[in-house]
Structure 1
């Protein structure tokens, strides 16, 4: 069990005077009302995953939905806990595209008992689980982690295994109600780990001795034995394991994918097995929609097994954790999300607009101004998105601009971003307070610059200024006479102004207007002689970020 407790929750009191609730608070309120007769001492919210491959952003939606509900319960004044159960004792179902061919021999073995594919962790399960667990602190998720192989080996499921074996006919009848092909009469609700080959999915229970609490099994490898199916020797199949764990941990609520929550799915059978076999009221279900990864014009459902993923561990290489929380929590779980890596700058802009609004609204609230429903929703969304809320509005340098700066200020020889150069560029872009930047803002800026550079190199556009000869060729062959005249005039006037973003921006428009040239034509000409393209970053900021002599030289192509 691993406990992650590094989290800051500000404004824990319920600040909502009426029913102005984020969906997580509304959901928590509904669950509390529904369970008030039961009066649980603790509202336990569960989440989990089978670490058969990279744990991706789509998987994170379940955990963050559970986390939001957990915080919603706290906000409604009840004691709550969030747990995460990793299904590390599930078998490897096939050799996935990201695995070496030699892993064929491990198909059918529990994930916790298979070697790490890169020999960096103690097991296959740990290799894919560890990066996700390591990301929990950054994501501001406070949970208790359980691993199913440890749970089984500790005997946590032993009593549930006996109940399942002694009620196998009842369980089979429940499952058969939702099956096209009924389970055979000799079916048992248990999988056994073969003592000879170590596989879980190739064994079959052929008898259960109720008096001795032993089972007889055979394996396709030829091994046969009579054993007590406890402490990890036996494992319940998923549709029985799930309701068993509800009763073991006293789960009150659990998010689940729409496949589990559909009519006749594992939740429906779990409800009946929990009630009829384990004498437990099933948890409240929270259905969430898939997140699709946008690849070009297509949106493809994320899947570890198919290799269509964007891993959670890779998110923090390109963007701040709170932005991922914002992406997943601003919509109800039932709303479909298309995850477009190219749209990261837009997502950051949306979050920072919310952040500015939050501090503005909090100042109003401190002055006693009554806030409306929309304002209260914004406050709550920011709180749920931001695990570590700063005391005041932090310095906001737009992500798009950081994409440009990070590439211009990168020192290839040293392999690092030159922060002195970054600060100079920011001064030229009218960030006048940059001289007195706080240490926390400086460190956050530095982190964002490296994230933005990684994003540009992998998912955005690499900023590549064409050489002088290519620029001259474009100038002579692709620009009209009016554009050529403007470039010459603009280059001369650049020498006369302050070299900052605002002054350059004004000069672009004013000089084009004086020559009766459409500003769009001026921008087009500029991007062509600088980047060899018809488009580019915000021109005033871009030019002010470059060396002044270089810029004047580039707009003096006739000399």
Structure 2
């Protein structure tokens, strides 16, 4: 089903998918775009390495950007990835070398601290390079903007003058939000000490706003009068955020729930500075498997590298797509379903009408980086010949013998043209499944012995499998398994109990695949061997 641009725009105008809901709000503000392009921004603090939170914010912002382009028939847009690298180093990260050296530079701007890795001219330059490599790895289209470059080059000088000119109004916004002790040291602009090079949290006096001259007490107690321009000062966080919105002309920026109050204060400051708070979505934060907030210091989260070890890049995007205003648990246990759901939604695209297609997460993900393959053209839906969950079950029963070659030898029972080159997506998942079973499942895998009527039921299943043609298909095998579970003499209250017994005795898990599909994939003879091993445990 080919979709015209007019049909696409009309459907986008009424779509309930969250990227289009965001785009519709932005389009009401900027229905025809603006000269130079509508500006989307994501922010990043380079005091540490990029992580999954960085990925999700850039991805979600990109999804809104593409939705806005669709909605407006191609209004030009830009995405800025902003690095706040003039910020002072407050704490030495745990995961970097040369920590003693970094400790000597606490309080100094990240862009003026040596690189502990010894590769770049500064710590910020190292982390900025990692950020750019990280974003490039996923094919994001963006412009990188450095806070240090903006301040040092004078790009922010006019914005700084604007802040100094509205010093009292900004203080009136900020002081009621601060504790008594913080109020005594707070100033909207933080000078950089001419003696220590540190970013100072001290009161300032505006001597000449137009000239950018301020007065403050330095770290050594001396009274200093100097320019705040040209990288000799930077704004406090909430003021900096607002100043950046106005100076760069940001139209859309989303942020986490933990920055809700910051967004309110920065929005007020942006108005004082003569600008306007951008449109944006406030998203919920990730939780660990226990429902607790993820903390980098605790290490209770899941890294990008870990996800990509056990699941695909597309599945990560799919998992992040859904319900950004709802908290998500982020742990290895969510990966298999995310992989299978991604492929289920991808294969559905060609048969969907325009409204369902625009609500399909994969439609948005395929367009995220300017690539439309499979999104609008008919007949381009792709599918995975073997679900990842079933692949995991196969690898699980193979155990220590689960090599890529061994897995593909079994896939020949189930997949036509079982050649890795013919199924690259499946081949990539074979390696990931082996790693997932090895690292996540195997340490907890226990196949229990069958008890009571389960023993006779397994014996009956073994006999039935011995009597069928080895080429019997998955559906017929599924029916065979069903019929055995229905027999009253085995004592199962329902089929669910029968399948649970199969999963726990044959596979070592409480849940599992369609048994007919598993038997067809694993093979009848190997399945009978699993049954024999289970019955032996009952003796």
Same fold flag (TM > 0.5):
yes
User: C-alpha deviations, 1:336-386, integer Å up to 9, x for none?
Assistant: 43445312222333332322221112xxx6xxxxx6x4x24435x332122
Match of 1:401 in 2: 390
Is 1:418 matched with 2:404? yes
Shift in Å, 1:74: 0.9
CA distance in 2, matches of 1:508, 1:186: 74
Match of 1:302 in 2: 294
CA distance in 2, matches of 1:218, 1:336: 45
Give matches, 1:154-233, under 5 Å.
154-176=153-175, 178-179=177-178, 181=180, 188-201=187-200, 205=204, 208=207, 213-220=212-219, 226-233=225-232
Shift in Å, 1:213: 4.6
User: C-alpha deviations, 1:447-474, integer Å up to 9, x for none?
Assistant: 22223333444445558687xxxx8xx4
CA distance in 2, matches of 1:35, 1:509: 59
User: C-alpha deviations, 1:78-102, integer Å up to 9, x for none?
Assistant: 2211111121222222345656864
- In the alignment of these two chains, the number of paired residues is 513
Instruction: Report the 3-state secondary structure (helix = DSSP H, G, I; strand = E; otherwise coil) of the residue aligned with 1:152.
Output: helix
* Contact preservation (8 Å) 1:256, 1:287: yes
Shift in Å, 1:401: 1.9
Match of 1:93 in 2: 90
CA RMSD, 1 decimal: 4.0
User: C-alpha deviations, 1:109-164, integer Å up to 9, x for none?
Assistant: 22333455665666444555555543434545321121212322222212222332
Higher mean C-alpha displacement, 103-112 vs 30-39: 30-39
Match of 1:353 in 2: 344
* Contact preservation (8 Å) 1:171, 1:273: yes
Higher mean C-alpha displacement, 250-259 vs 174-183: 174-183
CA distance in 2, matches of 1:308, 1:96: 16
Distance 1:424 1:301, change over 3 A: same
Distance 1:11 1:452, change over 3 A: farther
Give matches, 1:407-486, under 5 Å.
417-419=403-405, 421-429=406-414, 431=415, 433-435=416-418, 439=421, 442-460=423-441, 474=449, 479-480=451-452, 482-486=453-457
TM-score (norm 1): 0.76
Match of 1:5 in 2: none
- Of 44, 62, 72, the residue aligned with 1:67 is 62
Shift in Å, 1:488: 4.4
Instruction: Report the 3-state secondary structure (helix = DSSP H, G, I; strand = E; otherwise coil) of the residue aligned with 2:23.
Output: helix
Distance 1:204 1:314, change over 3 A: farther
Instruction: Report the 3-state secondary structure (helix = DSSP H, G, I; strand = E; otherwise coil) of the residue aligned with 1:242.
Output: helix
Structure 1 residue runs without a partner (length 5+): 1-9, 366-370
CA distance in 1, matches of 2:54, 2:137: 16
Higher mean C-alpha displacement, 15-24 vs 43-52: 15-24
CA distance in 1, matches of 2:257, 2:222: 39
TM-score (norm 2): 0.79
- Of 67, 81, 89, the residue aligned with 2:78 is 81
Is 1:328 matched with 2:323? no
CA distance in 1, matches of 2:497, 2:166: 78
Distance 1:11 1:426, change over 3 A: farther
Shift in Å, 1:442: 2.1
Match of 1:286 in 2: 280
